[in-house]
């Protein structure tokens, strides 16, 4: 690790915090806001750290933050990749390698996600690794950001854990298995034999007979239907349409789930919104 530039780091953090407005990150403005930009406690919550820890950084105090802390701050402050790399250098770390499978979500995609607080939505990688969910998204499928290692990928969990299939209608399981196997084959073709996707294939071929058989069929281009059918433990069966927005620079996907007004699924989606708000 290089030496931390405490003064420059503190100034950069303050300037980026002051440049953000509550509505930029999906927070209510409130009636009596006098702070220019976000409050320290708001940024700390966005970065998943204590207010005291974040405040000490802005005051040029405290221990040198780890790479994990800096990555969390960069995401919480909605930094661009260039700004993220600058933040790493100020903190005395080398910036992460810029790769297509990086976890840093672009500010533009985050701004859209922040405005979808009342809708199930998530940002995922091309390997199906969930990076961020809205509260209603967590209410719909559970917190899928908590996994580590290969289990971060829904496609990997689909073939290795029966729990991964519990919230999906049984009549869709066979098609979804084909979708995940074909999708992984397409990622391997893009990223090459030394990629993380290729490592997942080797693990799955050894762990799942179903995946091994599907892999041997060499299917590509298999896509799910327009409607996704979920089985929720509290609201029951719910049918949602999934719209996808692609960030080509990072190969991230923003998935947004909606229901047609006037349907039973629409009413259940409103109930999920209440459940999501209670979980925050």
- Determine the structural domain holding residue 85 and report its residue range: 6-90
Angle value at C-alpha 121, between 26 and 118, nearest 5 degrees:
55
Mean pLDDT of all residues in 221-248: 92
Inside any domain, residue 58 = yes
CATH number at residue 49: 1.10.260.40
Whether residues 117 and 237 fall in one domain:
yes
pTM above 0.85, yes or no: no
Tell me 82's DSSP state. Answer: H
For residue range 116-144, list pLDDT tens digits in order: 988 999 999 999 999 999 999 999 999 99
Q: Is residue 150 part of a domain?
A: yes
Is pLDDT above 90 for 268? Answer: yes
Asked if the structure places residue 98 within a domain, the reply is no
Kindly state whether residues 126 and 204 are assigned to the same domain. Answer: yes
CA distance 280 to 275: 9
**Buried b / exposed e along 4-37 (16+ C-beta atoms within 10 A):** bebeebbebbbebbeebebebbebeeeeeeeeeb
Q: Which is it for the CA torsion 127, 103, 101, 81, positive or negative?
A: positive
Establish if 95 belongs to a structural domain.
Answer: no
Mean pLDDT of all residues belonging to the chain? 90
Q: Are residues 265 and 133 in the same domain?
A: yes
What pLDDT score does 235 carry? 93
Please say if the pLDDT value at position 1 is more than 80: no
Residue count of the chain, please give it: 280
Structure tokens at 82: 């260039």
pLDDT at 29 over 80: no
Q: In this predicted model, what pLDDT tens digit does every residue of 80-102 receive, in sequence order?
A: 888 888 998 899 998 876 555 57
118 and 84 part of one domain: no
Q: What local confidence, expressed as pLDDT, does residue 99 receive? A: 58
What span, in angstroms and rounded, lies between the C-alpha atoms of 257 and 78?
23
The total of structural domains in the chain comes to 2
Residue pLDDT, tens place only, 40-60: 999 999 998 999 999 999 999
Residue 70, C-beta contacts closer than 8 angstroms, at least 6 positions apart? 87, 88, 91, 93
Mean pLDDT of the 261-277 span = 89
């Amino acid at each position: 690790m290089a030496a931390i530039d405490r003064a420059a780091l503190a100034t950069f953090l303050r300037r980026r915090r002051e440049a953000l407005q509550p509505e930029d990150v999906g927070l209510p403005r409130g009636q009596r806001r006098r702070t220019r930009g976000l409050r320290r406690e708001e940024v700390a919550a966005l970065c998943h750290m204590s207010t005291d820890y974040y405040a000490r950084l802005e005051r040029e105090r405290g221990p040198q933050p780890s790479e994990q802390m800096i990555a969390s701050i960069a995401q919480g402050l909605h930094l661009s990749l260039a700004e993220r790399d600058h933040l790493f250098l100020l903190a005395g770390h080398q910036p992460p390698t810029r790769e297509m499978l990086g976890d840093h979500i672009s500010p533009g995609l985050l701004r859209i996600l922040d405005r979808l607080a009342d809708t199930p939505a998530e940002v995922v990688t091309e390997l199906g690794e969930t990076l961020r969910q809205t509260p209603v998204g967590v209410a719909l499928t559970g917190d899928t950001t908590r996994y580590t290692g290969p289990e971060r990928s829904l496609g990997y969990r689909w073939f290795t854990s029966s729990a991964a299939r519990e919230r999906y209608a049984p009549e869709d399981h066979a098609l979804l298995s084909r979708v995940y196997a074909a999708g992984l084959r397409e990622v391997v073709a893009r990223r090459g034999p030394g990629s993380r996707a290729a490592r997942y294939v080797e693990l799955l071929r050894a762990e799942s007979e179903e995946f091994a058989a599907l892999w041997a069929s060499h299917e590509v281009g298999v896509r799910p239907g327009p409607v996704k059918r979920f089985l929720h433990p509290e609201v029951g069966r719910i049918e949602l349409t999934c719209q996808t927005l692609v960030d080509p620079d990072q190969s991230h996907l923003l998935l947004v789930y909606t229901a047609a007004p006037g349907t039973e699924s629409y009413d259940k989606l409103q109930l999920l919104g209440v459940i999501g708000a209670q979980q925050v």
